[in-house]
């Protein structure tokens, strides 16, 4: 309850370092929200047995003159994005072991705060151009919004958490943004973080302020432009990605417009491709 006695609605948003987090784009959404809004650290998952400390290294630091070791752990935040809506944010490294037990512990926090929806965030490297809006794949309660897209392959902790949450009766949404593979994963991708943040705002029904992320995204696109212009191979490759992207978008527009015959759809798409030559 807040001070006025009105019930606060909670939505859980989870992001994890590691395999699910290309260029730190998903976890940077949580970090941005924590820095932007009034946030309280309200819980942890730090049980031994979840992590391989050779892959998720403990960190040594000095706090008030005393040497300390910080062990890998998951942190939960209560983020007040409005008077009536709070985010229960989950942030931590993807566990190496005991995923089912870890997910059960995560969902106990969701039950404690009576969350109405669980949103998982992820980012991945893919064959897409930086010159177009970064693709985002959305699934509600395990079903993709795009009927032509059905993922089969390796999964991360976000997938396991989403599936267990559905089994326990929670409403879930999964957001995955794609990042151009040709740019690598060494540097952050603020454009991907911005894409996830805006989509999360749509789900919450709020305009989540982006702050400095918008300017950082513009700078990221400018750096990408320079990188591509200075590499002939990159130029050709990005041009092909742009053609594929535009063709796919055009085909989706034709399909959504209710084109009666599949043959007509193919013909129009082929004509569109010829026009790009």
Residue 83, phi-psi category: left (phi > 0), alpha (psi -120 to 50), beta (remainder) = alpha
For 163-185, what is each residue's pLDDT tens digit? 999 999 999 999 999 999 998 88
pLDDT at 267: 60
Candidates 3.40.50.300, 3.40.50.720, 3.40.50.10900, 3.30.1370.60; correct CATH number of 9-210?
Answer: 3.40.50.10900
- Give the whole-angstrom CA distance, residue 46 versus residue 49: 9
- For residues 33-37, give the mean pLDDT: 97
- For residues 155-163, give the mean pLDDT: 96
Asked if pLDDT for residue 123 goes beyond 50, the answer is yes
- For residues 101-116, give the mean pLDDT: 95
Tell me whether strands 117-126 and 9-17 are parallel, antiparallel or unpaired.
parallel
- For residues 7-30, give the mean pLDDT: 96
- For residues 98-118, give the mean pLDDT: 95
Split at pLDDT 50, 70, 90, the class of 124 is: very high
- Give the whole-angstrom CA distance, residue 136 versus residue 146: 10
- Give the whole-angstrom CA distance, residue 161 versus residue 34: 22
Split at pLDDT 50, 70, 90, the class of 61 is: confident
pLDDT at 273: 57
pLDDT at 35: 96
For 220-266, what is each residue's pLDDT tens digit? 999 999 999 998 888 999 999 999 999 888 877 776 665 555 555 55
- For residues 80-96, give the mean pLDDT: 96
Asked if pLDDT for residue 48 goes beyond 90, the answer is no
- For residues 146-171, give the mean pLDDT: 90
Asked if pLDDT for residue 5 goes beyond 60, the answer is no
**H/E element, 173:** strand 172-180
What single string gives the DSSP state of each residue in 196-211?
Answer: HHHHHHHHHTS----T
pLDDT at 4: 47
Asked if pLDDT for residue 2 goes beyond 90, the answer is no
Q: Among 89-93, 123-127, 138-142, 145-149, which is the least confidently predicted range?
A: 145-149
pLDDT at 151: 79
Q: Domain residues of the chain, as ranges?
A: 9-210, 231-275
pLDDT at 194: 98
pLDDT at 247: 87
Asked if pLDDT for residue 78 goes beyond 80, the answer is yes
Residue 245 sits at φ, ψ, to 5 deg, of -65, -50
Asked if pLDDT for residue 143 goes beyond 70, the answer is yes
Using N-to-C axis directions, what is the helix angle for 232-256 and 213-229, rounded to 10°?
120
pLDDT at 131: 95
């Amino acid at each position: 309850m807040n001070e006025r006695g009105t019930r606060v609605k909670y939505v859980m948003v989870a992001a994890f370092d590691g395999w699910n987090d290309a260029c730190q784009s998903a976890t940077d959404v949580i970090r941005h929200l924590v820095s932007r809004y009034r946030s309280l650290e309200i819980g942890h998952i730090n049980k031994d047995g979840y992590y391989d400390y050779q892959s998720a290294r403990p960190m040594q630091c000095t706090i008030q003159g005393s040497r300390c070791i910080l062990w890998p752990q998951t942190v939960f935040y209560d983020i007040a994005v409005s008077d009536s809506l709070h985010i229960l944010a989950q942030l931590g490294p993807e566990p190496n072991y005991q995923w089912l037990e870890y997910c059960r512990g995560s969902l106990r926090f969701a039950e404690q705060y009576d969350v109405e929806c669980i949103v998982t965030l992820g980012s991945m490297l893919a064959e897409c151009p930086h010159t177009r809006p970064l693709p985002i794949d959305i699934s509600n309660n395990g079903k993709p919004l795009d009927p032509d897209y059905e993922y089969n392959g390796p999964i991360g902790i976000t997938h396991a958490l989403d599936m267990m949450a559905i089994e326990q009766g929670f409403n879930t949404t999964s957001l995955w943004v794609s990042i151009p593979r040709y740019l690598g994963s060494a540097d952050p991708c603020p454009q991907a973080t911005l894409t996830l943040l805006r989509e999360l705002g749509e789900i919450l029904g709020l305009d989540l302020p982006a702050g400095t992320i918008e300017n950082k995204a513009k700078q990221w696109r400018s750096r990408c432009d320079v990188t591509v212009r200075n590499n002939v191979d990159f130029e050709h490759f990005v041009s092909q990605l742009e053609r594929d992207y535009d063709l796919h978008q055009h085909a989706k527009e034709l399909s959504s417009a209710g084109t009666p015959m599949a043959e007509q759809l193919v013909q129009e798409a082929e004509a569109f491709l010829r026009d790009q030559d």
